Structure 1
Amino acid sequence: MKTKVGYKLGILENDKIICDKYWLRVKNDYENPFIYRCKEIGDEFGLSCSEVTRTVEDNAYLAVIDYQCKSCGTAKICYNRAELTSLHSKKWECENCYLKKFHRRLQNSRQERIESALEQRLIEENSYINQLVQFRESQIESVPNLDEIDVVDHYLLVAVISKLATENFRSTTALYDNLGTTLSPFHDLDVKIINRLMRKNLLLVNIENSYILLHAHEECLLQFDLSKMTFDFAYDSGQLKKLIIDSKQSSSKDKLVNSPEYKILCEDIQLNDCINYLTHCSAVNELEIVIGEKIESLLSTCLLRYSVSEIYFIIWKAVKTVSSYSLEFDIDKIIISNLIYDNIQKFHDEIRYKSSENKKHDRDRAHPKSVLNRIFFDEVHGIEDCGFRHTVDDLLKQL
């Protein structure tokens, strides 16, 4: 085995002698190749065996000339006898080459995973696009004639045109991108309306802008992100303008009011107005609330007797009461929801049985009148913001 001792810069003479003695070997003696034992060297220089080894490691190294890296040809460097005697196989690879190959393998593995994931994503996208094309084709085949559109759908479509139509009247903008006046009082109702008009084939899915917003259920049925999707109108601009003009006619308004669904939709608009205000009030007062069927049912009951503006006052009073209570106690959102429910019920009963004064709340900037309020209440009944200041039954009695 050909070897050569190398020394680090600035080595002291004594340290050099120690290193030479440490590495001095008997040629071709593999069982006991070293001439001097560590103890002998240590006794000569007043050092322990571990101090001799440390001195050698700090000041010199042994290059094994005929033991080279199989990749780059670099000679093996040993810093102590244990490293030298552990050399067995000639197929040795230096640390640099090992790390380079490791990083190359890691990079290749990552690239393969990326390519595999991309391929899978492309397969999914193609599947989504094909399903979307089929869905749009089925929509186009089922677009109703103008005179066949349900009257409630007619007015809902007019509301969507008013709020979401682009300048050329060909398509909609996304609910997510709209600021200011809202389509309906609450986001959930917005989505419900868009879904209804899409299922009725009055709004056609826009394939180019929508396929990236889709994902499939386990049953491979498409699920739409309706708040971010855009749609094409099923009719041209001339037909849409005709729908808008027709919605202003008294005969169309009478037909709308006489529809059994009109009252249900108006009640839904008012309920969502109250839910939106309750959510806002709770957030402003740093209260987490769960809006479920229980609270919705209570608000619906309140709306049978009182207007939205009056319910606003009841909600405001109930939330303020719970807010002051929550400052003293650490309570979770389920308890908060129950407390708000109890206080809404309490203040409603107090007003109903005359033990408390009934007051009305005004709209504020955070809760502007929605497009649905304007179209389904104001334009039908000819009274400014009547859906906010009157109950549905009171408005219907005035017709």
Structure 2
Amino acid sequence: MRQFLSTLLIVALGVTLTACDRGESGQPDTELPDRQAPIPNPDADSGLPRIQPRPLEQIPEGAFGDKVKRGYQLFVNTQELRGKYVGNALNCVHCHMDAGRRANAAPLWAAYFAYPAYRKKNDKVNSFAERVQGCFTYSTNGAPPPADSPEMIAIAAYAYWLAMGGLMDHFGINGEVPEISDTDLVTGAKREDFPLPVDIARALPVDQRDKLPGRGYPKLDKPARDYSPEKGAEVYTAHCMACHGPDGQGYEAAGVHNLPPLWGKDSYNWGAGMHRVNTAAAFIHENMPLGKGIQLTPQQAWDVAAYINSRERPQDPRFEGDVEALRKRYHNHPGYYGKAVDGKVLGENAFPDFKQMQQEN
């Protein structure tokens, strides 16, 4: 166990940087507009439990613990699935900081208790697995693992273990996290029939489970002046270039990007939530530069988010041959898809999405 954790912690420390998905879910219905609002950051003073996940060393031995360990491994080194479910150089941990454990950095434990939930994005109730499938489709520019696949079950087991262990400790409930079925794992905890200890179920009714303090990214007010990619380029040079490179492509060692690309063929695609300027600005202000969050001004965060997201990247998987039609249907939010920047319409020269890459190969 100790050797396993030592190996994985090295991976996690090497990849914890920026740029994942925050706003997309499941398999979208191509007839629906993109109406999904950013996920709200709940009130920190609501009185609801403030979760502190258990140390990774407390992952149990046995079959259930093996699922949790595997989920952790895939979360911090999602590149294991490159070519199968992943089409770019990103890992889940690039958006969900500290291996999905950190509050105000889209923690995995808060997401687990927020689903199943209806989403305007695809006009249906999404299970936790469907929400994660969306991350693979857009953030990793890949393909959704089946809900009953070993990979999806493992990621769900890790999310459940983080959430349940933190809640048990908060309420003084001793012992190991209870094992539950694979079906329960991939469905999520926001439902009446989800198996919870009585004390937790009483303190955390279903309608409050998506309001755990620390969920999402703290809301960032609109800037005093319009955000500017030109100003953002200056912020990028001063504060971001050291980690992500002058060309935004990050840095790799032994073929692995330990510092992730922010645009280009190996970054998130035009359907990912992080391509929205407001989502990226909130993430950047709270968490970047790495280890120095909340040091950029809100204006700087908006500007550099605009700069990053005014660069070309992989195509929106919902693209059907007409950039302007797709922009009108799905991109009614702060962003640059379908807009002219430096004389070029973004999206017209987008890099291939996963399906295109598979066809070309």
User: TM-score range with shorter-chain normalisation?
Assistant: under 0.3
Larger RCO: 1 or 2 (CA < 8 Å, sep 6+) = 2
Tell me the TM-score normalized by structure 1: 0.22
For the pair shown, the structure with the greater C-alpha radius of gyration is 1
